[in-house]
Amino acid sequence: MFKVISGLFAGVLLVAVLAVYSAGSLMFQETRSPYGVEETAARIQRNILGLKDKGWVNSGLRNPARAVNNTGGNILPVLMVEACSTQYSAPILKDDATRILSILMPCSITVYKKDDGHTYIGTMNSALMGRLFGSKVAEIMKEVAADQAQMLKFDPNKPAPALIKIQPGGGGSSAGGAGGGC
């Protein structure tokens, strides 16, 4: 009997350890970009503009690396492209049970350079995250994930657009839309 209980305990412990170590790779996705940091961010912004029919707007552009570098640090470039769609945020924000999920708004896509010299795109696994909060949120986040995939498709035949320098929460420029952040 002791062998059965200890075996069961060891199995549960192993599953828990594996879950802890793999959670990060499940919740976040990293993709290598064929472009530099600013061009990648600009192409993502252009793709967001292409999703206006689904309510998406560029709601911010943050540069967390600048703050660190301004205080004497020396880190590689990092830009955070922020986007929001009221089509998806409104049902979540209207419901008391899901309003706390506003902490995940706006949708952020990070673009950064690594020591290997390449540029990478980091995204949250929206579809998986949505499943953690019930069927209503899961359905919405499944749509967000599909749109996010479109934001990350780059046409190499199109020239690089200019980076839209938007202050977070500022609602964007005339090119970014006046919808504001979520």
The 10s digit of each residue's pLDDT in 19-39 is 455 455 689 999 999 999 999
Bridge partners (DSSP) of residue 134 are: none
Q: Residue with structure tokens 């600009």?
A: 42
Give the pLDDT score at 24.
Answer: 56
Q: What angle do CA 19, 25, 26 make, to 5 degrees?
A: 70
Give the pLDDT score at 9.
Answer: 53
Alpha-carbon gap, residue 182 to 175, rounded angstroms: 18
- SS3 category, 14: helix
For residue 156, what pLDDT band results from cuts at 50, 70 and 90?
very high
For the chain, domains (ranges, CATH) are 29-151 (3.30.310.70)
Q: Can you read off the two tokens belonging to residue 23?
A: 């959670």
Give the pLDDT score at 94.
Answer: 96
Q: Residue with structure tokens 């075996």?
A: 7
Alpha-carbon gap, residue 182 to 107, rounded angstroms: 9
Q: Can you read off the two tokens belonging to residue 78?
A: 């990092």
The H or E element that residue 37 is part of is helix 37-49
Alpha-carbon gap, residue 57 to 67, rounded angstroms: 25
Please report how the helices 37-49 and 135-151 are oriented relative to each other, as an axis angle in degrees rounded to 10. Answer: 120
The DSSP code for 30 is: E
Alpha-carbon gap, residue 37 to 15, rounded angstroms: 38
Quick one: the chain helix, strand, coil %, rounded to 5? Answer: 50, 20, 35
Alpha-carbon gap, residue 93 to 99, rounded angstroms: 5
* pLDDT over 80 at 99, yes or no: yes
* pLDDT over 70 at 10, yes or no: no
